[in-house]
Amino acid sequence: MKEEELKQIFLAEAQDSFEQLNRLFTQLEKNHADREVTEAIFRIIHTLKGNAAAMGFEDVASVGHLLEDIFSEIRKGNITLTSMVFNDLFKAIDKLGEMIEGVKVDKKVPYKGMRAKLKVILRNLKGEIEYEHTQGGESSDKKDKEIEATLQKQMEEELTESQKETLASEQPVPIGVPLADEFMDEEEKKSKITFSDFVQVPVSKLDTLLNLVGELAIEKDRIIAQGASVGATNEYTRLYRITSDLQYSVMGVRLVQVGALFHKFHRIVRDVASIENKKVNLDLQGTEIEIDRNVLQIISDSMIHLVRNAVSHGIEGPEERRKKGKKEQGTIQLRATSDKEYVIIEVIDDGYGIDANKIRKKVVEKNLATPEAVASLSDDDIVKFIFEPGFSSVDNVTSVSGRGVGMDVVKKAVDAVGGKINIKTVLGQGTTFSLSLPSSMAVKSALLFIINNTEYAIPLSFTEAVISVKKTSIHKVGSGLVTTHLDDTITVMFLRDIFDCKDTEELQNPQLLHRSFDQIEDSEAKINIVVVSVDNKMIGFVVDRLLQQKEIIEKPLGKPVENARFISGATILGNGNVCLVLDANDISEFLFKPTFATV
């Protein structure tokens, strides 16, 4: 996170803390014995002090530390507040407010006199020297000097030589006596009310705003489409630009830094490593990368599974790592990078790696595929079986792993946001899980096409190419179809074959994927194919006609069709038509899972 952004967040929280302290001090002055208010004041001051120290604002942290000490003693019951000391405490809070404002405008505010005065208050309240309000007619120069001399002597006994030099410039000031240089124009300062530059807005309001902007974008497309029909396209150029800027501005408000999620894993890694008796270091990179809050929230549980598995399955124990010539302490790296409209999040460990042969045995044992099919699959394809429900490569069940839950949840969550997950592993060196996630769920780039006179869309995140081939270039293999693309053999399916099915039983027909192909009589006929990539498998979707590339706002399907197969959602086009969005993952599962069972 950039330093200026951190500073703005600190100022927003500090200003809020300052306002709360003023309110709570007023309550405490009315009822000195209010334990709940005392605890609240202590917590707020403690947090403010810690944040200021972390940001390097030592002046705010110094005054906050002394106030914290005073209220720590009050909490313990060692000292009792009296009405005489509240004026000075209110002045200390005012000084704290001035210092926070000084941070905002990069102005140094004198504070050493107030710090020294707080030290006097603390020692007087603890009974180390006599406390007496020394203002107006009740004060005496002799008494003031006696208090200062006693305090000076006690403090010097506890200080080092270097600290004594610092103390010389910070003489304590008697309680109740204003500090001339630091408290000028007090009445003017008290009457000034400051407001934070930050406004806290519930996420639900942002969601509502984004939905309204989405409706505006749809209406914009409709108006522009109408204008295009009468040749008035240029009339709406400004409307298009303004609505697009508004849409992306609202989307930008919903973006949060991935560090908000990454920083939570320090404790998770520590706890799992402790259970497993392993030494693990967590390294975070790219925490400033921004992503839609909803995306981050949906994949948060998935990230927990990946990190826990990296510690439990990936990292070896200290003794085993020493034997392999590795450092005793393993390393897990969470890294985020930005790639156009996508955010790539990687979970990297330097542990065992994934043993493909071990996975092969487990696949056969669990009847997920036949031995023949397993033997024909590459190591990369075999490793993907870890995403199957109930699959676990661990023989012993522990409190962390071995129950066969987790990785399938990861896959479903990534699919739900329109992302992809890939695995790279080297046995003995480590494993990398790479999640490619859309930076925003609000707007998707999609390719529009027509099947059976109906408009459909598929997200560009899945689309690799658009090609046109002759019927003679497509061949039957078993119950499916294949063709070649860039010297690779890819599976081909006519989308109308699955959308023409009347029920699920018809989907099980072995000759289903040959229907449309057999109906084409002209062997030289051109066939439009959208090549998509799902789980590193290339599939060619045959469509009737290609339309255009377009940004869409996808909405989930409502009841009673929320569980419709092969469809992930819908959008409304500029012409007012409802356009269904294909679920490429579901279609891929339909195509390939039966293959494993029949080979």
Q: 255-257 and 290-292: which strand pairing? A: antiparallel
pTM: 0.67
pLDDT category of residue 593 using cuts at 50, 70 and 90? low
In 3D space, the residue among 195, 201, 254, 257 whose CA is nearest the CA of residue 11 turns out to be 195
pLDDT of 204 reads 85
pLDDT for residue 454 is more than 50: yes
pLDDT category of residue 160 using cuts at 50, 70 and 90? very low
Quick check: 339 and 431 in contact, CB under 8 A? no
Query: Tell me: the pLDDT tens digits for 413-424?
Result: 888 888 888 899
What is the average pLDDT score of the chain? 80
DSSP states of 533-560: EETTEEEEEEESEEEEEEEE--B---TT
Amino acid identity of 92? A
Span 260-288, average pLDDT: 92
In 3D space, the residue among 101, 103, 146, 70 whose CA is nearest the CA of residue 4 turns out to be 103
Q: For residue 560, is the peptide bond before it cis, meaning its omega torsion is within 30 degrees of 0? A: yes
pLDDT of 165 reads 46
- As its CATH architecture, domain 3-190 has Up-down Bundle (1.20)
The residue with greater pLDDT, 402 or 23, is 23
- As its CATH architecture, domain 444-598 has Beta Barrel (2.40)
pLDDT of 581 reads 93
Q: Cα angle at 277 between 274 and 281, to 5 degrees?
A: 65
Q: Does domain 256-438 have CATH number 1.10.1040.10?
A: no
pLDDT of 227 reads 76
pLDDT for residue 190 is more than 90: no
pLDDT of 76 reads 79
pLDDT of 564 reads 85
Q: What is the largest CA-CA distance in the chain?
A: 115
Between 253-267, 395-409, 489-503, 572-586, the lowest mean confidence (pLDDT) is in 395-409
pLDDT of 197 reads 67
Quick check: 336 and 285 in contact, CB under 8 A? yes
Sole residue written with tokens 């989405």? 214
pLDDT of 402 reads 45
pLDDT for residue 471 is more than 80: yes
Strand partners, 280: 330
Strand partners, 480: 477
What ranges in 324-449 are assigned the alpha helix state H?
356-365, 371-376, 379-383, 407-416
pLDDT of 577 reads 86
Quick check: 291 and 255 in contact, CB under 8 A? yes
pLDDT of 510 reads 83
Which DSSP helix (H) or strand (E) runs through 448?
strand 444-451
